[in-house]
Each structure stands twice: as C-alpha cells, then as structure tokens.
Structure 1
C-alpha cells in the first residue's frame, strides 16, 4: 500500500506543478511533452485525477491514526 501512496503522491505533485505552469505561464507541460490530448497525455491526466481522488482517503487515515 505504501508504494501506491508514493506513486499517487508523485503523480499529484506532477499535476500540481503542471497546473501552476498553466496558471502562471499558459504552458501545459504534459501537452508539451506528449502532445496536445494525445492518448498518452490523456492517460497522464486520468492517472493524475485518479491519484488526487485516491489521496482524499488520506483524511480518513489521518483521523484513524490520531484517534
């Protein structure tokens, strides 16, 4: 489970950096690297989104550890 946690965290950080670049400079790093909405860039966006949803479970895990 720890490997999944780290993978999700890394993907979410990549997504956050990408959104920061889009907001500050109108530069989409994922599209630049893999093509504008190519199948691979879409896969990256999907994995980042799923990782964000998965990381929402951290709230319940933190609550369980503090109880």
Structure 2
C-alpha cells in the first residue's frame, strides 16, 4: 500500500499547486492542459478529491506509528 500512499500524496500535492495557481493568478492548470470541464479534467479532479479523502486516514496511521 506504500505505492498507493505515495501516488495519492503526489496527486494531492499537484491539486494543491493547482489551487495555488488559481488563488494567486486565476490560472487553472488542469483546465488549461485538458480543457475546461472536459471528461479528462473531470476525471483528474475526481481522482485528486478521492486521494484527498483517502489521505484523511493518514492521521490515524500516523497516530498508530508513534505509539
């Protein structure tokens, strides 16, 4: 599962950088690369969101490691 954790974390970081670009420059990188709400960009947004939800479990796993 370590590869899934790393992949999820990478996608969430990319999503966070996209939000940074939107917040500072009003530039949506995903929409620029794949089209504004095209099926591919919607898949990317969905994957980033699902990975973010999955990484919520990281809080519990960090607590178990430190004990």
Query: TM-score category by the smaller chain?
Result: over 0.9
Normalised TM-score (structure 1): 0.98
Question: For structure 2, which runs of at least 5 residues remain unmatched after alignment?
Answer: none
Q: Point out 4+ residue stretches in structure 1 off by more than 2 angstroms.
A: none
Provide the alpha-carbon RMSD of the alignment.
Answer: 0.4
Normalised TM-score (structure 2): 0.98
Question: For structure 1, which runs of at least 5 residues remain unmatched after alignment?
Answer: none
The separation in 1 between residues aligned to 2:54 and 2:7, in whole angstroms, is 11
1:22-33 matches, within 5 Å, as 22-33=22-33
Aligned length: 67
The separation in 2 between residues aligned to 1:39 and 1:7, in whole angstroms, is 21
